[in-house]
C-alpha cells in the first residue's frame, strides 16, 4: 500500500489533498502544528485506520516510524495577512521546514512534492507567467518573507534532486479558493464572501484594477495528483487562466450572493502584485490538465460553505 505524508494537512488545501489521497487508496500521515489550520478540517478523517494525524512543527526535525512513498510539503502560512503576522515562522517553514522534509523523503527514499506559489513571480513583468520566467520579487519588502522562503524552498528541492537524486515535483499554485478557507484569513475570496453575506461593504484594496485568476480547489487537487504521478522535476504552474480585476471580482461576488453590499476602496498593501495569470501550457502538455470548474459553480459551493458557517455561528 502507498503511504503519503502531507505537511500542512489540516489547512485548506492540505485537507482536500489528504481526502483525495485517501480516495486513491493511499494511507495518509498528516503533520500539522495547527498554526493556521484547524482540526475541524480533517475531523471526518481522524477515526479512519488509514489516516494518522501528528501534531508537530515541521521546522523542528522529526521522524516517522512507517515507510513512506511520498512526502508532500504544504505547511506554510499562505494568506498575506497570516504571513505578515507570522514573518519568522513563514521564513522558517519554507527553509528549515523544507530542509527537514526533503531530508525525511531522502531517508525514506520517497518522492517529494513541494507546494510552491505564483508569488515566486512577484509583481510580474511578463504576462501571463510561464515557468521559465524568473520573477520580479522585492526581497526586503513585507511580502519577501513568503516569496523568498518559497524561492529558497524551490532551490533546496532542486539541490536534493540534482545532488542526491531525490525524485521531486514542484507545483506553483496560483490563487485557489473553495470550502475550508478561513473566514478571517484576509484573502480576497473569504473576505468578499463574508462581507457580501453580512451586507457589509466589500473592501477593495487600491482602485481594484489589479488582476487575479482564481482556480477551484478540486481542479487544483487534480493537477497536483497528476503532477505527483508524472515524471517531471521542473516546476509546473497549476491555476485557472481566467483573469479578472479585483473590482470585477467584487461585483461577481455581490451578484452571486444577491447582496446589497457596496464597494469601499481602501489602501493598497505594499508590493501587491498588479497582475497575475498562469500560463498553463506546460500543465496541458505534460499532465493533460486544464481547469474544469467554472467560476460561477466554484463560487456557488464556496458561498454555501461560508453561509453554513455563518448560520452555525448564530
Ligand atoms: P493554510 O493556512 O490553510 O494551510 C497551511 C497549513 O500549514 C495549516 O494547517 C498550518 O497549521 C500548517 N503549518 C504552518 N506552519 C507549520 C509548521 N511549521 N509545521 C506544521 N504545520 C504548519 O493555507 P493553504 O491555502 O491551504 O496553503 C497550503 C500551501 O499551499 C502553502 O504552502 C501555501 O504556500 C501554498 N499555496 C496556496 C495557495 C492558495 O491559493 N491557497 C496559493 C499558492 C500556494
Ligand atoms: N484584496 C482586496 N480586498 C481584500 C483582500 C484582498 O482588494 O479584502 C485584493 C488584494 O489587494 C490582491 C487580491 O485581492 O490584489 C488578492 O489578494 P489575496 O490576499 O487573496 O491573495 P494574493 O494574490 O495577494 O496573495
Same domain, yes or no, for 94 and 222?
A: yes
Residues in the chain: 314
Determine, yes or no, domain membership for 59: yes
For ligand 1, the distance from its centroid to the CA atom of residue 178, given in whole angstroms, is 14
Q: Quick one: 107 and 255 in the same domain? A: no
Based on the domain organization, do 206 and 232 belong to the same domain?
Answer: no
Count the domains in the chain.
Answer: 2
pLDDT in tens, 135-175: 999 999 999 999 999 999 999 999 999 999 999 999 999 99
Per-residue pLDDT of 264-276, as tens digits, reads: 999 999 999 999 9
Residue 260 pLDDT exceeds 90: yes
How far, in Å, is the centroid of ligand 2 from the Cα of 27? 35
DSSP E strands, the chain: 3-7, 27-32, 51-55, 70-73, 111-117, 168-173, 176-177, 202-205, 211-213, 215-216, 235-238, 243-245, 263-266
Give domain status of residue 283, yes or no. Answer: no
**146 carries an active-site annotation:** yes
Q: Relative to the alpha carbon of 271, which ligand is closest? A: 2
CATH number of residue 309's parent domain: 3.90.25.10
CATH number for the domain that contains residue 106: 3.40.50.720
87 and 165: one domain? yes
* 32 C-beta closer than 6 A to ligand 1: yes
Distance (angstroms) between ligand 1 centre and the Cα of 76 equals: 4
Domain identity same for 32 and 155: yes
For the CA of 146, the nearest ligand:
1
158 plus 20 within the same structural domain: yes
Query: What integer pLDDT is reported at residue 238 of this predicted model?
Result: 98
Q: Coil, strand, or helix at residue 119?
A: helix
Ligand 2 binding residues, C-beta < 6 A: 79-80, 175, 187-188, 191, 203-205, 210, 212, 246, 269, 272
In a domain, 27, yes or no: yes
Report if residue 286 sits inside a domain. no
Contact status, residue 178 vs residue 218, Cβ threshold 8 Å: yes
Q: Which residue has a Cα nearest atom 23 of ligand 1?
A: 78
- Give the model's confidence band at 314: pLDDT under 50 very low, under 70 low, under 90 confident, else very high: very low
Distance 149 CA to ligand 1 centre (A): 13
DSSP 262: -
> Do the domain assignments include residue 190?
yes
Q: Please give the distance, rounded to the nearest whole angstrom, from the Cα atom of residue 188 to the centre of ligand 2.
A: 5
Decide the pairing of beta strands 215-216 and 176-177. Answer: parallel
Q: Of 19, 57, 62, 75, which is best to mutate to test ligand 1, by the most ligand atoms within 8 angstroms of its C-beta?
A: 75
Q: Are 189 and 136 within one domain?
A: no
Is the residue at 130 inside a domain? yes
C-alpha torsion 170→121→298→203, nearest 10:
140
Residues 20 and 89 in one domain: yes
Q: Is residue 20 domain-shared with residue 31, that is, in the same domain?
A: yes
Q: 280: Cβ below 6 Å to ligand 1?
A: no
pLDDT above 50 (res 310): yes
The contacts of residue 90 (CB under 8 Å, 6+ apart) are: 76, 77, 82, 83, 145, 146, 149
* Gyration radius (Cα) of the chain, Å: 19
Burial pattern 31-56, b for ≥16 Cβ within 10 A else e, equals bbbebbbeeebbeebeeeeebbbeeb
Among 112, 146, 160, 177, the active-site one is: 146
Nearest alpha-carbon partner for 62 in 4, 5, 112, 10: 5
Q: How far apart are CA 202 and CA 255, in angstroms?
A: 12
8 & 93 share domain: yes
Residue 312 has pLDDT above 90, yes or no: no
Q: From atom 19 of ligand 2, which residue's Cα is the shortest distance away? A: 187
Q: Each residue of 179-214: pLDDT tens digit?
A: 999 999 999 999 999 999 999 999 999 999 999 999
Could you give the CA distance from residue 113 to residue 25 in angstroms, rounded to a whole number? 18
**N-term to C-term CA, the chain:** 44
**pLDDT, averaged across the chain:** 97
Residues 105 and 223 in one domain: yes
CA distances from 87 to 83, 146, 204 (A): 5, 8, 24
Residue 96 located in a structural domain: yes
* Pocket flag, ligand 1, residue 78 (CB < 6 Å): yes
201 and 169 in a single domain? The answer is no
Look at residue 156 and tell me if it is in a domain.
Answer: yes
Residue 219 pLDDT grade (very low, low, confident, very high; cuts 50, 70, 90): very high
Ligand closest to CA 214: 1
pTM: 0.98
Q: How far is CA 222 from the centre of its chain?
A: 13
Supply the pLDDT for residue 61: 95
% residues pLDDT > 70 (the chain): 99
- pLDDT, position 313: 67
Q: 308: domain range? A: 179-212+242-276+293-313
Amino acid at each position: 500500500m502507498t503511504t503519503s505524508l502531507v505537511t500542512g494537512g489540516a489547512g485548506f488545501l492540505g485537507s482536500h489533498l489528504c481526502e483525495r489521497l485517501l480516495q486513491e487508496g493511499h494511507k495518509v500521515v498528516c503533520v500539522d502544528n495547527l498554526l493556521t489550520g484547524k482540526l475541524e478540517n480533517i475531523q471526518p478523517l481522524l477515526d479512519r485506520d488509514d489516516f494518522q494525524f501528528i501534531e508537530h512543527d515541521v521546522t523542528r526535525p522529526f521522524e516517522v516510524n512507517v515507510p513512506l512513498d511520498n512526502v508532500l510539503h504544504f505547511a506554510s502560512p499562505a494568506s498575506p495577512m497570516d504571513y505578515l503576522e507570522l514573518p519568522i515562522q513563514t521564513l522558517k517553514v519554507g527553509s528549515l521546514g523544507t530542509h527537514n522534509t526533503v531530508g525525511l523523503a531522502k531517508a525514506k527514499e520517497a518522492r517529494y512534492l513541494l507546494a510552491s506559489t505564483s508569488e515566486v513571480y512577484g509583481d510580474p513583468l511578463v504576462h501571463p507567467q510561464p515557468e521559465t520566467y524568473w520573477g520580479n520579487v522585492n526581497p526586503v519588502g513585507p511580502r519577501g518573507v513568503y516569496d523568498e522562503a518559497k524561492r529558497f524552498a524551490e532551490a533546496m528541492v532542486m539541490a536534493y534532486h540534482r545532488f542526491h537524486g531525490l525524485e521531486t515535483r514542484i507545483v506553483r499554485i496560483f490563487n485557489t479558493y473553495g470550502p475550508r478557507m478561513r473566514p478571517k484569513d484576509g484573502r480576497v475570496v473569504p473576505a468578499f464572501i463574508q462581507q457580501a453575506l453580512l451586507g457589509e461593504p466589500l473592501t477593495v484594496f487600491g482602485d481594484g484594477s489589479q488582476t487575479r485568476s482564481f482556480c477551484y480547489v478540486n481542479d487544483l487537487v487534480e493537477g497536483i495528483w497528476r503532477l505527483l504521478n508524472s515524471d517531471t522535476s521542473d516546476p509546473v504552474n497549476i491555476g485557472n487562466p481566467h483573469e479578472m480585476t479585483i473590482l470585477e471580482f467584487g461585483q461577481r461576488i455581490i451578484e452571486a450572493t444577491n447582496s446589497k453590499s457596496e464597494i469601499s476602496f481602501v489602501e493598497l498593501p505594499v508590493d501587491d502584485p498588479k497582475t497575475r495569470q498562469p500560463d498553463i501550457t506546460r500543465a496541458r502538455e505534460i499532465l493533460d490538465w486544464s481547469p474544469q470548474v467554472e467560476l460561477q459553480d466554484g463560487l456557488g459551493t464556496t458561498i454555501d460553505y461560508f453561509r453554513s458557517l455563518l448560520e452555525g455561528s448564530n
